Amino acid sequence: MVLVNKCKECKSDINEEATKCAQCGSFQNWRRYFNSIAIVAGFILTWLSIWTAPPIKELRMDRNAEIKISILDGDFTQLTFMLSNIGNSPAALSQIMISSKLESGIKPTWYLYSELDKKLLLPNQAHVVKASNSSVIPSAVPHEFVVAYNERYGKAQANCHLVLEYIQLDGSKRFESLPFVCHPVDPSNDSGLFEKN
């Protein structure tokens, strides 16, 4: 006696042991779920490929400038440094400052000027900046001297900060600060000193 089942798709009578319906061709065992799994997997893969595509990924990212600085050299008249925007949005350089902390406890700030003031800093661009003002400014100790001092006496304490103020595309102000070892300047004789904290 042949036992009869109903097809899970078309409801035709089929043999109980049949793995495939003769009428509609659909599988009766676990393989009948394969088409649904393939469709869901295909949808997920399609969604992931669209979501991670560079134009879509760029739309989801925050648009911000990120400024990095490295001091190249400097004397008592000019500071030379490298500036790079490693972010994904332009910014405008609004101010360059050197702040210092002297042994006397005075914390003077010098405001410097450069050819990049109020200019756009585009993403993935680097600039060599020469900044100065009309007075004597703290002089950066050359990197090789700092390295030699560190090897002989231990880590030299940074007594100056180079501070850049820049404006993001949305109008917000940001600051990037880089500590460095400098030869201090006596603020009582400095006509370019604009502020004492």
What is the residue-level pLDDT of the chain in tens, covering all 197 positions? 566 788 877 888 877 777 788 778 777 776 666 666 677 777 888 888 877 777 665 555 578 899 999 999 999 999 999 999 999 899 999 999 999 887 777 788 999 999 999 999 999 999 999 999 888 999 999 988 888 888 888 888 889 999 999 999 889 999 999 999 998 886 665 444 444 33
Q: Closest Cα to residue 175, out of 183, 186, 167?
A: 167
Q: What is this structure's pTM?
A: 0.64
> Sheet of 125-131: strands edge to edge?
67-74, 79-85, 125-131
What is the extent of the structural domain holding 42? 4-60
Q: Do residues 79 and 123 both lie within one domain?
A: yes
Q: Do residues 116 and 174 both lie within one domain?
A: yes
Q: Do residues 116 and 180 both lie within one domain?
A: yes
Q: Closest Cα to residue 91, out of 171, 194, 13, 1?
A: 171
Q: Do residues 18 and 88 both lie within one domain?
A: no
pLDDT confidence of residue 196: 36
Residue after which a domain boundary falls, among 23, 45, 60: 60
Q: Do residues 31 and 116 both lie within one domain?
A: no
Question: Count of domains in the chain?
Answer: 2
Residue after which a domain boundary falls, among 60, 78, 108: 60
Q: Do residues 85 and 21 both lie within one domain?
A: no
Q: Do residues 52 and 121 both lie within one domain?
A: no
Q: Closest Cα to residue 87, out of 152, 143, 168, 197?
A: 168
Q: Do residues 28 and 81 both lie within one domain?
A: no
